[in-house]
Structure 1
Amino acid sequence: MTSSRTQAVYRGSPTYSQTFPCEPSTASTGRMLVRGLLALWRLSDLADRAGLVVTELIANATRHTPCPEVRVIIRRPGAAWVRVGVVDREPSRLPTLGPTCDEDESGRGLLLIDAVADRWGYDLHRRGRHPWCKEVWAEIHVSGDE
């Protein structure tokens, strides 16, 4: 008996983005969005990691910026990577990975992202000379033959 297995083929740089209110409840919506898109791309094995990433990125934007909206972006910058990003309109408030104490009740979001993602960072988007927003992102390596 032979078995044929269809494998997802990577073509181009698929991207999905959506704007949401900058509030804590958006994290749940962001997780559903990431899970659904990864299932469509046949990458459900990355859903837990990517879900944690989007949750923490939204939580950081909610906590550290006064922005009314955030934009969630999920993309495949290459066959070997999935990138999850959150854009806010506070380019002057850059993410930093800082020390925490055991007693701290918050401040571990980037530590979690650093632990589950293969790389992370931020990009400033400019109009002319001045940045008008930033995207904080994390990338997860896709394992397997793509």
Structure 2
Amino acid sequence: MSPVSETHLAHRLNLRLNVEPSEIGGIRHTVIQHIGSWECAAIADDVILVVSELLANVHEHAEGVCELEIEHQDEGLVVKVSDTFMTPPTLGHRHGSAETGRGLLLVDALTDHWETTITGTGKVITCTFGTPGRGISP
């Protein structure tokens, strides 16, 4: 993985990325290490799947340039992916034989809440994951 820049704080990981499909595995590895250090193993698989899907979308729709921020809070994790593509993603229903288009259904199923905010330079997708027994309010 070759992040443009990387910041590690006690409870926050911030990566500026040029996403290539071959590097998503390395990014996942970095995220797993941080989630483990924050003792959030119970939600790690869900977080990794959502991060992978959002980064694949960045590669496909936003020329691969994004910022990934993951913050550990008392109630769980907040994941933000910012890119320069101003069109918000839409949650749709795909035909069972479709080969693509199910990613946001996965995001919707695995997060406590997710939303898109359009900014002056693109958009931010924010996803919340509560730890078992706790939840993060939208």
TM range (shorter): 0.7 to 0.9
Deviations 1:72-94 (A, max 9, x none): 11013x41130122211112x11
Unaligned runs of 5+ in 2: 1-9
The structure having more radius of gyration, on CA atoms, is: 1
Matched, 1:85 2:80: yes
Equivalent in the alignment of 2:28: 31
Contact 1:20/1:26 (8 A) holds in 2? no
CA distance in 2, matches of 1:56, 1:74: 15
CA distance in 2, matches of 1:109, 1:135: 16
Equivalent in the alignment of 1:128: none
Unaligned runs of 5+ in 1: 1-12, 126-130
Contact 2:40/2:76 (8 A) holds in 1? no
State percent identity of aligned pairs. 30
Deviations 1:27-79 (A, max 9, x none): 212311221111111112211010001000001111122x3422111013x41
CA gap 1:26/1:136 in 2 versus in 1, 3 angstroms: farther
CA distance in 2, matches of 1:62, 1:32: 18
Give RMSD over aligned pairs. 1.9
Residue in structure 1 matching 2:67, options 65, 71, 79: 71
